[in-house]
Structure formats: structure tokens, C-alpha cells
Amino acid sequence: MAGLRQKLSDRGPFAALLVAGCAVLSLLVLAPLYTLLSKSVENRAGEFVGLENFARYLSSGGIESAFLNSLWVAGLSTVIVVGLAFMAAWALTRTRLPLTGWVRGVLVLPILAPSLLPAISLVYLFGNQGVLKGWLFGAEIYGPIGIVMGSCFWTFPHALMILLTAMDNADGRHYEAASALKASAWRTFWTVTVPGARYGLVSAAFVVFTLVITDFGVPKVIGGQFDVLATDIYKQVIGQQRFEMGAVVSVLLLLPAMLAFFADRYVQRKQSASFTARSVPYKARADRKRDVLGALVLTPTVVFILAIIAMAVYASFVTFWPYNLDLSLNNYQFGRMDGGGWGAYFNSLQLALGTMVLGTVLVFFNAWLMERTPQPKILTGVFQFLSLLPLAVPGLVLGLSYIFFFNHPDNLLNGIYGTLLILILCTVSHFYAVSHLTAVTALKQLDKEFEAVGESLKASRWRVLFTVTLPLCLPAILDVALYLFVNAMTTVSAVVFLYGPNSQLASVAVLSMDEAGDIAPAAAMAILITVTCAGAKLIQGALRFWVDRSTRAWRQGTE
């Protein structure tokens, strides 16, 4: 028995650390969510009232308007974005167009911008004083049209990246077989290309749908009188201080997001089961007609994205739209507007850096514990669930949950309420799942016997971690760091409930300035955020280049 205890003590610390990891995630995600759920069945005084709040929301007509509006706007955006992204991915992977590197770069640019940016840009393009107002034939940009257009802009890169991954892995042999069987290009497209990308298509659809339905920035700026769930939560909470109704709408928003999440997980599981073949990478053959078609498919999307960004950049420099079109830096003097000025920008930088450092460390350490140390099966199961849960929780819902949980007078941690720390914690949790998946994927790719070899050579798991695992995971670590930085910089939804007088944020400042009618400074701040993210991307790109170069010898086996 003494021996058994000795053995346990060897593995115990790792299990204990993962239990701690579970506890942290429970504190940061599960507990706040639970508080939110319980709030939705309580009245203002905190007494249990069952589904009364839901009934009240139903009778106020909230379901018909906001809920259905959200569904169809998200559905329509999904169809458009997935369609366009699929065409773009096809053109990028199945033709031999020149400059595809640059085109890829432009197409993913929106990911560096806050979702508020396209909305502001659309106001300039199609709003009451918009330059292209006539193109809408009298229709209003303020409402569903604006929301759909804006959502398409910022969700496009997410869909594109999923589809590019799916289509980059195409098996060349299928195409060879099709051409050997004399299938026409059209038939090959429908019998080989589309089926090959079907899991990517489904996954992209779920992702876009969730992003649109939970987004708050676009409808807030350009939604006008058109209610959706996300703006409804904001109105209930910030406008009318009806927290319990905010909780009710949150639950309603949680439902479709959860549904999409589980459906996507289910589809992904099927995919990994069918992914076995030893494939030959596909190489596009020269085909002028196909190249022209590819260019035709890409052009509208590229033009749309560039137009939106260019409009925002231009508007941010115009002195007084539309009366004085002289260019100046007036709009960048944020000190003169609401929203916290340059201070907000520097707070955002701190938030982004803090989230990046804390998040990357936490994510990788936990993923390492889960993947590379001996753990009881149920513990890894619980941890995996907790890590992926944030993917199903919309930012607004998370933010509101944080109010309920951390602002409660009995919560020992309520001292962090209104500080930068709670913003960092909330943002780390908000973007935990995707980072976790990236880390786990990287760790799974390493030889599963590294630790066993290490132990036989009397090296502790820690030494193997620092001398082998981390160096090998460096590219993935850089990816996660950038992902966290950019999202912390651009996010609005979760943090809009949580900032305090000393922790105003740039992305929220865009919102407040827009609300106050200072649209040009809002555009300027949005551009500033975008430029900052682009800078981060460049730095990360340079670091990755450096890492790739200095490790090329051992990665590819050439000196």
C-alpha cells in the first residue's frame, strides 16, 4: 500500500493541477452562467418566480420581433457569406490566378477590425448623407439591409478560413479519376469539389450563424428601429436597468448558439471518422477559362471589403462630412469627445496585452496538463467540456453573467468589478475555446511517447515541457497569442457591460461616440484599432518567419 501511495503521489500533482484548471474555468464561465440562469427565473427582489419573466417577455411581443428578426437576419447572412466564401475558396485553391497571396490577405482583413467598423462605413456609403445612397433605390440602410451587409463583412474571413482549410486538403486522385472518366468541369465541381468541402461548409455555416446572431456591434450602429436579441439585451439592461429581463433575453440568445454549437461538434466528430485516406495534394492545372471565372468570382468580394475599409479610412480624415471634405486629423483628437479618449485606447492595449499573456499561458498550460500528463479520464472529459463551453456562450450573455456574478455583494471577488482585471478575465474566458482547440491540436501532433522517453531518461515532465514540447509548439503559441490580442482589441459584446470609469475601452468608445453622433471620430477610433491589430499581425508574422527560418533545419531536414 505504501508503494501504491508513492505511485499516486507521482501522478497526483498533475491531476490536482488540472482540477485547479477546472475550478478556474468553472469560476470564470460556469458559475457566472449559473447566476444568469437563476436570475432569469427571479423577480427584481430576488424571489423565485418560475417562468413569469419569460411569459412577460413573450406577451410584450419580444419573441415575434427580436427573436424572429435575429433568426432570419442571421440565416440570410449565413447563406450569403458561406456562398461567397465558398466561391472565393474555390477560386483561391482551384485556379492558378496570380497574386493569390495578396488576395487572401485582403479577404481576411476584416478580422482585424471591430464589427462596428463596417456598420459605420455603411452609414457613410448608404446612410442619409451617403455617397452611394441612390444605389439602394430608396430602401433604408438602417435596418436589416445594413445589418446583413455589415455582418457579411466581418464574418466573411471566419468562413473563408474554414473553407480554405477544407479545400486545401483536397485529394488530387479524385480529380484525376474524374478527368479519367471524362467528367465535365461542371460535373467534377458538383461530384468532387462540393462533396469534398461539405464538412467545411456545414462548419462555416454554424460559425457564421452564431457570430451574426450573437453580434451586437453591427445592429447597434446600423439597426435603427429593427430589434434583434443582442440589442434587446443591451436596451433592457443599460437603457431600462431591467436586469432580470436582460437575463431572459440572454437565455433566448443562448438557445440557438448552444444548438449550433452541439450540431457543429456532432458534424466534426463524423468528419474525423471519415478522414483516413492517404491523399495526394491537388495541383490546379493551367486553364484560362477557369482562371477568368475565378477572377470574376473574387472581384466583387475584394471590392466590397476594400470599399468598406477605404470608406472608413477616408471618413476618419474628413474634417466635417459632408460639408467640409478637407483632410485633417481633427477626428483623431479623441480628448474632445465622449468615450474616454486616448486613455480608452491605451486601456484597450493593456487589455489586449494582458489577455494575450494570461490567456496564452493559461490555455497552453491547461492543454498540456490535459494532453501530456497522466490524467483520469473523467477529469479530461470535464475539462474538455468546460474549455469548449465558451464557444456556445455569446459575449453579451457572458458579460451580463459577469455583472450578476462578480457584482454580487457576497462575492469575495467583487473588488475586481469595474477594473481592468475583470475585463481581462472575461475576455480570456470569452475566447478560451478556440485557443484551447488550437493548443490541443498542436500538442496532439507531437509523438505520444516523448514523456515516456523523458521518464526513462530520468527527466521530469517539466523538463520535457520546456526543452521539447514548448519549442515544438512555438508556432501554435504565436497563433494563439495573436488571436487573443486581436479579439481583445476588437471585442465589444462582453466588455460593454463591464468597463468602469477607469477602464474605458477603445472598442466601446467607438460605440459611445457613434451613439453621441460623433460618427467621424468613431470611424477614426475603429481605424486606429484596426491599424493596431494589423501591426500586431505584422509583428507576429515576422516572429513566425523568424521561428520558421531558425528551425527549418529540424523541421524539414534540409540544412
Partner 1 sequence: MTQQTQGSRLEIHGVHKNFGDFSALRDINLTIEPGELVCFLGPSGCGKTTLLRIIAGLEQQSAGQLLQGNDDISLKPPKDRDFGIVFQSYALFPNMTVTANIAYGLHSVGTPKARIRERVAELLEMIGLAEHARKYPAQLSGGQQQRVALARALAPSPGLLLLDEPLSALDAKVRHHLRSEIRSLQKQLGVTTIMVTHDQEEALAMADRVVVMNNGVIEQVGTPLEIYQQPQSAFVAEFIGAMNFIDSAPLNGQRVMVGNRAVDVVRPLPEGKGGVRLAIRPEDVHLLPSGDGDWEGRVEAMDYLGAFIRTQVRLTDVALDLVVDVDPRSARQLELAVGNRICLHLPSDALHCFAA
Site of interaction with partner 1 (CB under 8 A):
3-4, 6-7, 10-11, 447, 449-450, 452-460, 463, 467-468, 471-472, 551, 553-559
| Residue 381 neighbours by CB distance under 10 Å | 12
CB of 338 to partner 1, least distance (A): 52
Secondary structure class of 325 (helix, strand, coil): strand
Helix (H) or strand (E) holding 327: strand 324-327
Q: Whole-number minimum distance, CB 2 to partner 1, in Å? A: 8
Cis peptide before 390 (omega within 30 of 0): no
Cβ 278 to partner 1 shortest distance, Å: 16
Distance of closest approach, residue 168 Cβ to partner 1, in angstroms: 23
| Distance, CA of 45 to chain centre | 36
Shortest distance, CB of residue 484 to partner 1, whole angstroms?
A: 25
Closest CA to 530 of 104, 108, 110, 101: 110
Q: Is 15 or 284 the residue whose CB approaches partner 1 more closely?
A: 15
Residue 227 in 3-state DSSP? Answer: coil
In the complex, the smallest distance separating the C-beta of residue 3 from partner 1, rounded to whole angstroms, is 3
- Of 293, 300, 327, residue with least CA distance to 85: 300
The minimum distance between CB 524 and partner 1, in angstroms, equals: 45
Closest contact distance (angstroms) between CB of 165 and partner 1 is 24
* For partner 1, the closer CB: 2 or 45: 2
Residue 378 vs 412, nearer CB to partner 1: 378
- CB nearer to partner 1: give 59 or 456: 456
Tell me which residue has cell 515541457. 465
Residue closer to partner 1 (CB basis): 168 or 447: 447
Cell numbers that stand for 522 in this block:
468613431
Give the residue with the Cβ less far from partner 1, 47 or 559: 559
Q: Is the Cβ of residue 336 or residue 448 nearer to partner 1 in the bound state?
A: 448
| Closer by beta carbon to partner 1, 182 or else 458 | 458
| 406 closest CA partner among 37, 31, 21 | 31
| Residue among 2 and 412 whose Cβ is closer to partner 1 | 2
Instruction: Work out the number of other CB atoms within 10 angstroms of the CB of residue 71.
Output: 15
Cell 468553472 identifies what position?
26
Residue bearing cell 433566448:
252
d(CA 21, CA 383): 8
**Residue 521 CB, nearest distance to partner 1 (Å)?**
49
**Which grid cell is 400?**
451580463
Report the distance separating Cα 193 and Cα 85, nearest Å. Answer: 14
**Which value, to the nearest 10 degrees, does the dihedral of the CA atoms of residues 411, 430, 123, 150 take?**
-150
Cite the DSSP H helix spans in 41-143: 52-59, 62, 68-94, 100-107, 116-126
Q: Where are the alpha helices (DSSP H) in 132-242?
A: 144-168, 172-180, 185-188, 194-196, 198-214, 217-222, 229-234
**Residues whose CB falls within 8 Å of the CB of residue 174, separated by 6 or more in sequence, listed in order:** 192, 196
